[in-house]
A and B are shown apart, each in its own frame.
Chain A
Amino acid sequence: MKLMLFNGSPRGQASNTRLLLDAFACGFTRSGRHTVEWVDLANSVSIEAGIDGLVKADRVILAFPLYTDAMPGIVKTFIESLVPLRGKVDIPPLGFIVHSGFPEPIHSRALEMYLDKLCRRLGCRSLGTVIKGNSERLRQQPPWMTRTVIDRFRKLGIEMAVTGSFDTGIQAQIAGRETITPFALGIFRLLNLFGLTTRSWDQKMRRNGAFAKRFARPYLNGGVVPQGGHWPQMERNNEVLR
């Protein structure tokens, strides 16, 4: 079986998307009987070649991070490049991997509906969407912290080689709970109160000498840096949204 992998991360090869796809590809090719072809959509030169390869593949996986609740612009560009293929060629079964920094899969569910409809539009079978949360720091984390997720994506690849589909059990394990439990949210709020949920951001900003400007608003009224960490107006907005 020939598998075509499209990496839709704007970070290209240095991305969390690539890390997950590497694990998936490792599992898929384990038996030595199946092959994988790669395309990084961040490298626009390779997109045309990728479309040629897409129609010749047995399975296609398009993986990308969630950007503003949907696909990154480069992935949409790629999807638009498929317009000429509609109704003209048989497109192989198409699967998706969507990951985000948010912990809950619910953030990606609306996009999942779009991707399912996209397959119907293209006239191809949908293999479904694997949704992974909490992915932002994968590349920075030590191997012992990412072992479980890497192992799950490797197993997902192994199953793809055997059945030609995503294993729904592993898919569910990767997705985890649909929403955070009220108890966990309470803990999060408590940690938030003591500024403990912002530590990794704060560390990065301190390293870059940017911590003092963390609340900067450079695009309005010449930029104003509010003192402290409180946005009374923001809290009111949040009330409205709740």
Chain B
Amino acid sequence: MGFGVFSKITPAILVGDGRKQIAVLDGSDAEISVLPAYIDQLKEQLLRNGNSVTHLPLRTMVIAQCRGCWNCWTRTPGECAIDDDGPFVCRQVIKADWIILASPLIMGFPSARLKTVHDRLLPLIHPYLSVIGGEIHHRPRYPRFPRLALLLETEADTDSEDLAIVREIYRRDAINFHTTLAAFWTTGHHPEEVSHEIDAI
């Protein structure tokens, strides 16, 4: 049962059949961001090193804001009620070994486009709670969640404080998804360096 009818599209480009499956959630705007070109280079590098890459350019998808209905927890467990491209992204994420959240910083935080999609990953965790590190957190729904990494395009006024804040927010977010923020890059890092780091972990 869905909230509405959306035009569903499946624009992911799955390439390779490698040892690590990497999903790139690309929250950039193709017109003004350097990220699409950067991701193309990164993809080539990752493939060369024997990995599989699924590029999800979120700008080409129809993904509504999570409405907080919690049907994915209490009515159709694990399944989102919104009939758009959100469930497709969930499927790509949960089968990956790594997800790279790629986005420009806008007002010091990843784009609204990426955050909207991130909110829609809620069906991948469970409403039940448990204690982790002396704090209350959600339990996982799946036995394994991919490692999380951030790839950010900085703004003209981005400083080390901005990066530290974003890093801390996503470090905490990773705990609720029962994974770790395994890497944190900006587009200042060479794609080869990023790819090697993924291979090394």
Interface residues in chain A, defined as those with a beta carbon under 8 Å from any beta carbon in chain B: 9-11, 15, 42, 65, 67-74, 76-77, 79-80, 82-83, 102-104, 106-107, 110-111, 113-114, 117-118, 121, 179-180, 182, 185, 188-189, 192, 197-198, 201, 204-205, 208, 210, 213-220, 223, 231, 233-234, 237-238, 241-242
Contacts and interface: CB of A to CB of B under 8 A. Distances in A.
Contacts of A102: 135-137
Nearest to B74: A204
Contacts of B180: 241
B187 to A, nearest CB: 19
A217 B78 contact: yes
A197 B139 CA distance: 12
B16 interface: no
Contacts of B139: 231, 234
B134 A179 contact: yes
Interface stretch (B43-51, B121-129, B193-201): B121-129
Contacts of A65: 68
Contacts of B123: 218-219
Given A188-B136, A197-B128, A219 B76 contact: no
Nearest to A76: B112
Nearest to B128: A198
B129 to A, nearest CB: 6
B77 A219 contact: no
A238 B67 CA distance: 29
Interface in B71-130: 73-79, 87, 90-91, 94-95, 106-109, 111-113, 115-119, 121-124, 126-130
B4 interface: no
Interface residues of B, number: 64
B45 to A, nearest CB: 28
A69 B176 contact: yes
B59 interface: no
Given A213-B77, A238-B130, A180 B136 contact: yes
Contact of A121 (B115, B118, B140, B157): B157
B141 interface: yes
Nearest to B161: A117
A73 B172 contact: no
Q: Nearest 8 A-B pairs (CB), nearest first?
A: A73-B116, A233-B143, A76-B112, A69-B173, A77-B112, A204-B74, A110-B168, A216-B78
A205 B135 CA distance: 25
B140 A218 contact: no
A185 B134 contact: yes
A216 B134 contact: no
B65 interface: yes
